[in-house]
Structure formats: structure tokens, C-alpha cells
Structure 1
Amino acid sequence: MNSLHKKRILLGVSGSIAAYKAALLVRLLVKAGAEVQVVMTESATAFITPLTLATLSKRPVLSRFVADDTGTWNNHVELGLWADALVIAPASARTLARCATALCDDLLSAVYLSAKCPVFLAPAMDLDMYRHPATVDNLNRLRSFGNHIIDATHGELASGLVGEGRLAEPETIVQTLERHFSRRPELVGKSILITAGPTQEPIDPVRYVSNHSTGKMGFAIAHAFARAGANVTLVAGPTYLATPDEAIRRINVRSAQEMFQSTADAFPTADVTILNAAVADYTPAYPADKKIKKNDAQFAIELTKTVDIAATLGAQKRPDQLMMGFALETDNERANALGKLHRKNLDWIVLNSLRDSGAGFGHDTNKITVISRQEIVHEFDLKRKDEVADDLLTIIAEQLMTKLPPKNE
């Protein structure tokens, strides 16, 4: 389930040209299952109509202490108590100053001062305003209060200048909230190393040996751990997939040797390593430097073994490190998976079979069996790969929980 499901989000919209992005932000939050209440400053209504945001949020937009049409008092204290999170996006220089100095002269600033929930501010303004010492000081003050600042990004601004000051994209703001609500104490700050996708072994400059892996499972795992607060490094073979979370450090590789080298470089500092990539077992021994012409009726390629990444890292693994490997099998599944588990010094092996409908390469679903070093077996039904990733995260998190120091009484 999405971590924003049924979360109550107060969205503050202040006077900035970037206010038009609030429409997409509301739409994304509602799509994620959140309840959204929009509070606008008077100046924000000049950039986007309250009707637009009310229609998307399915709630009347609030902008004054007392509604003009009904005389109803919009209780800022109750709003502050209602919300699971207050997000001010865009946060103009004026709104940042109000919040930083407790200048409570409009509904949004009153809601901010009344909020008992986490507060996220996403600044948006021209680059000189963003860099001005007064704005920098206000942002530092707001951070010191415990607020979360979603930094402005670099790009073309409404003034025509290019630099920092652009509102973070709505997708980035939603991801920030998802990570906040998905955080698990046992995973926050942990270094998670994940491999994903296929490798391509060159025959000549235009041909290669590969497999049918798409990387979907590994990318789903990376997304789950990033949302939970872990520091994720994703070593990805050739795939069309976009990085699922901007907090993920992605390293793109092509060949098995490149994947081994990048994974081995990151391994010493990893708390958990999850080897999901479908790495080629063999590579052409003598790749041609020019395109091979089609001449003979038969053509043979001499292959040589690639480095066994799991076995190599398993031999180096320290007692404080955890490793999970994957085994995609077509026959003698359990026996083959157990052999790989112990031979490569893994803590878990994730078994799936091409004989299971909806499992394996290319599908949006997977059916797995997880076997621990102690040969404890967890069998799961066919699920979406994001749900499978959550199951794997839970198994690893429970193991990490046993290693946490006891809480002080």
C-alpha cells in the first residue's frame, strides 16, 4: 500500500508563478490516496484559481480566516491538528519570511504556527531572491525549527534567467513525502547495494550476448528501500527504466565485468547487498573490433566464464554484512537454490521459477520463495513486483532489528 494512503495533507500555496504546479501536485497526492486540503494566500489566487484546486482536491479551498460567502470561521488551530503533514509549495520569499519570523497575518502563516505535524517547505523564486542573505537566513531558521526544506532546483526561471530557484517538481515533492511516511528506523541510514537488469557481452561493435531481464524487480527493490530511508546504490545493467527515486545513487554498467567492478567497489561499505541482476555466466573470449561479416554457413564464438559476483563477494563478506541473492530456475528449483545459497555464502536466496505463470523476466508480477541460511522457508503468492519488494524489505528489516542496540530506559 502506498505510504500516503489516507494521510491528511495540508497543502499551502503561496504567491509565485510556480503556483500553477500545485494542480499537478494535488492530483498526484490524491492519486496516491491522500486527503488534501488546500490553503492559499490571497496573492496565490492571482496565479491559479481556487476552483481548479478545489475540483482536484474535492474540498473547498481556504484562503481567509472567515469565508466571504458563508461567514464560516476557518479554524487554523483545528487545521493544524487535522493534518499528518503540512506542505507549502510553492513557498515564496514572503511566505518563508512570515513563517521564519512568526508574522501571523494570513491564514496560511497561522496554520503553519498551529501545525503539530511535520512541515515541508518547497521554495520558489528568482535566483537573486533565493540567494539573498535574508532568504538564506530564513531558510536556515526554518531548518533549525525542525522543518523539512525541499530545495529549489536549477533551471530556467520565469524572469528568463537561469539558476537556482525553480520549484522542485511535484513528483519530487510526493517522493519526499512517501519517504517520510515509509521510513523505518532499522533501515534509516543503512547502505543498501542492489544490482538489477541484464548485462550485454560484446561479440563485435554491433552485436552482443544478453538475456531477457528488464530490471523491473531490482528497480522495485531499490525504490522500496529508498522510501524506507536507506541509502541506496543501484548498479544497473542496460534497461529502459528510469531511476524510481531521486535519492537513489545509480551506476550504469553494460558488461558483467563492469557490473562486477562497480559492485565490488561499493561492497565494503554496504550493510546489505541484494544481487538481483541477471549477469551473463559467459562472455565472448575475443570480441571483434569490427563488425563480423556474414560469410560462412556456420559461425562459432568461443566463450569464457565471467566473474561470479555473488561467490566473490560472499567470500569477502564480513559478519556485520547481509547478502541476498536470486535464483531463477527451470528445474530442480529448491535443490539448485539451496546449493547456491550455501556455496556463495548468502544469508537468503530468493527463488522463482519460469514454470510459474506471471513470474520471471518482463512481467509486472513475480512469485517468490525466500530461503534463509538456516533454511527457513517463506513462500509467497503471485504479487506485483512492488509488493514483492516490500516483502523482501520486511524480511531484511526484521533481521536488522535484531542487531539494533536496546533502547535506553
Structure 2
Amino acid sequence: MTPATGSIQPISRPPLEGKTVVLAVTGSIAAYKAADIASKLVQSGANVEVILTKSATEFVGKSTFEALTHRPVTTGLWEAHSELSIDHVALALRADCVLVAPATANTIAKLALGITDDPITATVLATEAPVIVAPAMDADMFASPSNQRNVTTLQNDGVVFAGPAEGRLASGLVGKGRLVKTATLVGLVRHVIGRHGDYRSRNVIVSAGGTKQPIDPVRYISNRSTGKMGYAIAEAARDRGANVTLVTAADLPDPAGVKVVRAETVDEMRDAIVPASSNADLLVMAAAISDFTPAQVSDRKIKKQRSGKTTLELSKVEDFMPLAQGKHLVKVAFAAETNDLESNAQAKAAPKGAAFVVANNVSEPGSGFGTDTNRVTFVDASGNVDPQSMMDKLDVGHAILDRALPLLGER
């Protein structure tokens, strides 16, 4: 029997806990957005060290970042905040990631040429940590041949570029030059920090969301799945170094560092997942796959009947999970239940070829569709049961990966 939630707080471990991120802010009009980036990195558990160029301080003051990070801000090469009294060297050594956001064309050029006349360029040159550069400038400046040469040089040196995005620019023009969204940058930081994790070189496929089976051109039958659980698993695998493919029917933003394949129907899901499984190490079927589909799909909108009644005939959908096969493949199934949780989950394991089933009672508060938390139970075909505490969905994702890791074969 599943214990009541009561006032139990879900287990939660911030994804960047214990990591140091150097946030380098240059003199772009988008510098004000760096305050939100710093805030979100702190909320993710990171120790955030901020460097501002003198031009950046014309847009946003150092006190803003000091209040957000509870750390002193570096604005010059000769400041002595650190224990080594040479800030750029200390930050370069301590960094798990350096994020230059926003990055001007001027800073990109100096980085490409190895010029070190400010604390940002000196820190990047001295660090062995991964570097992410997020440009923000007018579209014509970004597209200029000299800037593109500099971008290519840095990419060849291993620097990760984030954006820029398309949109309206400060000049009033519309083009490619906007700073990418904060969520994307935080996701990329997690991605590059975790790329040497225990899932490095592993190919992981995750399905997410509720499939939609069309009735006519304007209607479909579906379920209440939002895709949050599947996305959390995909992010957890990415954070541990996996090459992740997310096959999704959900309407959620694409996670950074993850290959996203849109698939709304069961057939689209099958066609995306089954061929890719041959080279995968792990398949986690978190999507709520439709059990039934309309027996006939009308090519025109079905009109209301005078009687007020319409009959919809449904056909059973064949489970395609057994078709997913691969030399190294470990499969994990999901079971969203409202009763007889353990027995229903156990019944699914063998037919699906799953190493174990992740079962949850969707009628339990905090454990249903659309929540940020979940309480799951791991059940295998032999009937072994391992109930978990209420957790954030990201932590559920890590628990699934922890359980699957010893089952993976040699690559």
C-alpha cells in the first residue's frame, strides 16, 4: 500500500549543487538579462562568480550581481578578491564552467585571437573548464565575415556557442542576434559540466507526453500526460553525459543539449523509436501511449447529429515496445495506475521485455500527471518491489538511471 504523503517534503537535489560557474558579462544591451541568468544558476545550486567588463557596468551594476550571488564581483584585472589575489587565475582554476553571456563581437574577437586585456579574456585563456559563449549583437554584426571567422576559430578550439536567437533586436531590426533564453543557457551549463559523467558515450532514448489519436481533422483522443516526467529523465541523462534522444508528444520547450523528435501519434512514436533502438543502450518509455485509437478516421469534421448522440468505435493499439531491440538495449517501462499498482506493473514487465517497470499511482496527490513531483515504485518481472520516496521528477529520473546503470553492457 502506498503511504500517504502527509506533510512529507519531496527529496530534491539541485542539479548544479557544488559546481562553480563563472558568469562573464560583456557590454551588450542584453547585459541586463545576465541578472536573471545569475539568479537561475544560483537556484540550480551553483556557486556563481561574476565578471563584468567595464562596458557591462554601464548597463547593470555590480551590486545587482553581488546581491544575487552573495559573492564579490570582479570588474578589473587588478582586483584582489580571491584567495590567490589574482582573480582571473583563481576563477579559471575553480570553474567547472565559464559562461560568457552576453558576448559582444569585440569579446568574441579577443577570445579568438587570445588577447587578454580584461578579466574575462584572461579567465577564458587560463581555464581548462568548458566554455560557453552566448552572443548578443545586431544581426549584421553577427553575420559579418570577420565575426563568423572568429566564431569558427573558437568552435574549433572546443568552445560551445549558444545562439544567437532570431527576433527583434535593440536596433529595431529583426534578425539573428538575440541572447538565447535563460533556461537554454542553464541547460547547456548542466550539459557541458556533466558530459564526462557515468552515462558518457551512452545512447539513451526517452519517450514523453501523451499520444494523440485523430478522430477527424480537428479532434483527437488522448490522455492527461504532460510529458514532465519524460523531460526530467531526458535532462537527468543529459546531465550525466548521455547522448539523449527525446521522442515527445508534449508541448514543452526543448531541453538544451538533447536531440528532440516530435511524434504525436502512436505510429509516429513507433517509427521514431524502434529503428533508433538498434544503437541505443537504454530506452525509457515514459510516454503515455494510447491504448485505443478510433477504428476509422474521418477526413472531414464530424458534424453534430440531430439525435445529439455520436458513436465512436475504438480499436486496440498494439504495443510496439517489444519491437524495440538492440544488442546493448536495456528497456524500462512505465505504469500509470489507479489501483493494484504492484501487480499491474509486474504484469507489464515480461511482455514488454522491460528490465523493470516504473509504477506510480496517478490518483495520489503529488504523483499524478502535470505535477513537479512523483512517488514511484520499481517492479521487475520476478515481483521484486522497491518503493521510492516522494521526489522531484528530476530526482526520479536520476533514480531510474541509477537503477539501470548496472544493467548496461560494455560499449
Q: Same fold (TM over 0.5)?
A: yes
Letter in 2 for 1:247: V
Residues 117/194 of structure 1: CA separation in 2 closer, same or farther (3 Å cut)? closer
Alignment of 1:38-77 (within 5 A): 38-66=50-78, 75-77=87-89
**What's the counterpart of residue 34 of structure 2?**
22
* SS of structure 1 residue aligned to 2:206: strand
Measured in 2, the distance between the counterparts of 1:5 and 1:376 equals 32
Deviations along 1:131-188, whole A, 9 cap, x unmatched?
3443333333334444333343333333344433333333222111111233354533
* SS of structure 2 residue aligned to 1:219: helix
Deviations along 1:275-321, whole A, 9 cap, x unmatched?
2222222223234444343444765433221222224x25xx23322
* SS of structure 1 residue aligned to 2:403: helix
Please give the root-mean-square deviation of Cα atoms over the aligned residues, in Å. Answer: 3.1
Structure 2 residue corresponding to 1:99, chosen from 95, 108, 111: 111
C-alpha deviation, 1:58, in angstroms? 2.8
C-alpha deviation, 1:249, in angstroms? 0.8
C-alpha deviation, 1:40, in angstroms? 1.6
Letter in 2 for 1:349: V
Residues 257/168 of structure 1: CA separation in 2 closer, same or farther (3 Å cut)? closer
Mark the structure with the bigger radius of gyration.
Answer: 1
Deviations along 1:3-39, whole A, 9 cap, x unmatched?
3223222222222222222222112122222222222
Measured in 2, the distance between the counterparts of 1:294 and 1:304 equals 23
Q: Does the Cα contact within 8 Å between 1:243 and 1:250 map onto a contact in 2? A: no
Alignment of 1:180-259 (within 5 A): 180-204=192-216, 207-237=219-249, 239-245=250-256, 247-253=258-264, 255-259=265-269
- Is residue 2:355 matched to residue 1:343? no
Which structure would you say has the larger RCO, counting Cα contacts within 8 Å and 6 or more residues apart?
2
Structure 1 residue corresponding to 2:295, chosen from 281, 285, 291: 285
Residues 209/90 of structure 1: CA separation in 2 closer, same or farther (3 Å cut)? closer
Letter in 1 for 2:295: A
Per the normalisation by structure 2, the TM-score is: 0.83
* SS of structure 1 residue aligned to 2:23: strand
Measured in 1, the distance between the counterparts of 2:196 and 2:384 equals 24
Measured in 1, the distance between the counterparts of 2:303 and 2:129 equals 64
Q: Does the Cα contact within 8 Å between 1:235 and 1:263 map onto a contact in 2? A: yes
User: Percent of pairs identical after alignment?
Assistant: 37
Residues 163/73 of structure 1: CA separation in 2 closer, same or farther (3 Å cut)? same
**What's the counterpart of residue 407 of structure 1?**
none
Measured in 2, the distance between the counterparts of 1:162 and 1:367 equals 46
Q: Does the Cα contact within 8 Å between 1:257 and 1:307 map onto a contact in 2? A: no
**Matched residue count:** 395
- Is residue 2:169 matched to residue 1:157? yes
Deviations along 1:59-113, whole A, 9 cap, x unmatched?
3332223459xxx965432333333322222222222233333333233333333
Measured in 2, the distance between the counterparts of 1:379 and 1:275 equals 19
Q: Does the Cα contact within 8 Å between 1:14 and 1:91 map onto a contact in 2? A: yes
* SS of structure 2 residue aligned to 1:229: coil
**What's the counterpart of residue 183 of structure 2?**
171
**What's the counterpart of residue 336 of structure 2?**
328
* SS of structure 1 residue aligned to 2:17: coil
Letter in 2 for 1:142: L
Q: Does the Cα contact within 8 Å between 1:62 and 1:74 map onto a contact in 2? A: no
Structure 1 portions without partners, runs of 5+: 405-409
* SS of structure 1 residue aligned to 2:241: coil
Deviations along 1:320-375, whole A, 9 cap, x unmatched?
22211112334444333233211222222222235655434343332222234566
Q: Does the Cα contact within 8 Å between 1:155 and 1:164 map onto a contact in 2? A: yes
**What's the counterpart of residue 281 of structure 2?**
271
**What's the counterpart of residue 5 of structure 2?**
none
Letter in 2 for 1:291: I
**What's the counterpart of residue 306 of structure 1?**
317
Per the normalisation by structure 1, the TM-score is: 0.83
**What's the counterpart of residue 319 of structure 1?**
327
